[in-house]
Amino acid sequence: MRVRHRPPENSAVMHPARPLLAALLAFGLSSGLAQAKDWTHVRVATEGAYPPFNSTTADGKVIGYEPDLLKAVCDRLKITCDTVVQDWDGLIPGLKAGKFDAIMSGMSITPKREEAIAFTVPYSQGPSTFAVMAGGPLASLPSTGVDLDLADHDAAMARLAPLRDALKGKVVGVQVATIQADLMAQYLPGVEVRSYKTNDEVALDLEAGRVDAWIGSQTNLSAGVKAAKGGLAYAGPLFKGGLLGKGSGMGLRKDDADLKALLDRGLVEAMADGTAGKLSQQWFGFDIVPR
């Protein structure tokens, strides 16, 4: 089932429904790569504990959407890419310290992170929401399944008043140092939050009844909801925009502009010819490629 799709080299097939990708492709192909450093070997760090973006098997192999997409991109660019597993909270410090050359770990492109590092073009985009026990008291949270844009802070705060009331006295689990943790602090003050090192730990405590809800990217929650076999369900609004950023991209050091240009080209081509979309369907069951 997890057969890696190897795209044909030099493919120029474009999907007409993706005008953003067409524009990015044009940019990437004209960005002066002839002057780039000769990047033939790139070390890429991932958390290895954020399924289905990335996870680690019992024998130490890293699998998921991102490892497969990375392989497709690096094959296309004819470069060698090695994967390094690094705890989430050490990804940006490790990158800046030179332990590896890039991050590919479901990292959202946010203004706060852009102050510290650079990013490639986004290769995934999806809302954040809650997972709760199916049939439980929070299964019908206000605005379940409704898009809620955080770009207008005051308007979002007003719309979230019923949700804040529904979560009073409840405990929400979230992975530490994530944009969802920032969301809880800024938009749902007063709601008790419990932080965890990994999302797997949040899912276990939700099923055990130690937390009442789990907030995260819907693309990541999908793995926990699927594994629970009907025991978990999505609830609450589909949060987008504002502090949640522009989607997930590969993190890079700011002075590695040549590597950014190279990886941008590979990612844009892999999205434009449908490779990323096929891998998205394989790992998530739906399309997370930015439009």
pLDDT in tens, 43-60: 999 999 999 999 999 999
Show the tokens assigned to 225: 């909801």
Amino acid at 163: L
Per-residue pLDDT, averaged over 152-157, amounts to 97
Query: Does the pLDDT value for residue 32 go beyond 80?
Result: no
Query: Does the pLDDT value for residue 102 go beyond 60?
Result: yes
**Beta strands at 232-240 and 128-133: parallel, antiparallel or unpaired:** antiparallel
Task: Give yes or no for a contact between 85 and 56, defined as CB atoms under 8 angstroms apart.
Answer: yes
Q: Which pLDDT score, from 0 to 100, does residue 31 have? A: 44
Query: Does the pLDDT value for residue 40 go beyond 70?
Result: yes
Residues in CB range of 100: below 8 A, 6 or more apart: 43, 44, 45, 84, 86, 94
Amino acid at 32: G
Per-residue pLDDT, averaged over 217-226, amounts to 91
Task: Give yes or no for a contact between 240 and 127, defined as CB atoms under 8 angstroms apart.
Answer: yes
164 class by beta-carbon count within 10 Å (0-12 exposed, 13-18 middle, 19+ buried): middle
Per-residue pLDDT, averaged over 67-88, amounts to 98
Scanning the structure block, which residue is given the tokens 């490629």? 289
Show the tokens assigned to 213: 């809800």
Task: Give yes or no for a contact between 29 and 35, defined as CB atoms under 8 angstroms apart.
Answer: no
Q: Which pLDDT score, from 0 to 100, does residue 193 have? A: 98
162-194 residue pLDDT tens: 999 999 999 999 999 999 999 999 999 999 999
- Helix (H) or strand (E) holding 172, with range, is strand 171-175
Query: Does the pLDDT value for residue 7 go beyond 70?
Result: no
Per-residue pLDDT, averaged over 4-19, amounts to 43
How far apart, in whole angstroms, are the C-alpha atoms of residue 153 and residue 273?
37
Q: How many CB atoms lie within 10 A of CB 5?
A: 15
Q: Decide: pTM greater than 0.85.
A: no
For the chain, the average pLDDT equals 90
Per-residue pLDDT, averaged over 115-135, amounts to 97
Q: What percent of the chain has pLDDT over 70?
A: 87
How far apart, in whole angstroms, are the C-alpha atoms of residue 39 and residue 209?
49
Per-residue pLDDT, averaged over 266-285, amounts to 96
How far apart, in whole angstroms, are the C-alpha atoms of residue 168 and residue 203?
21
Confidence of residue 15 (pLDDT cuts 50, 70, 90): very low
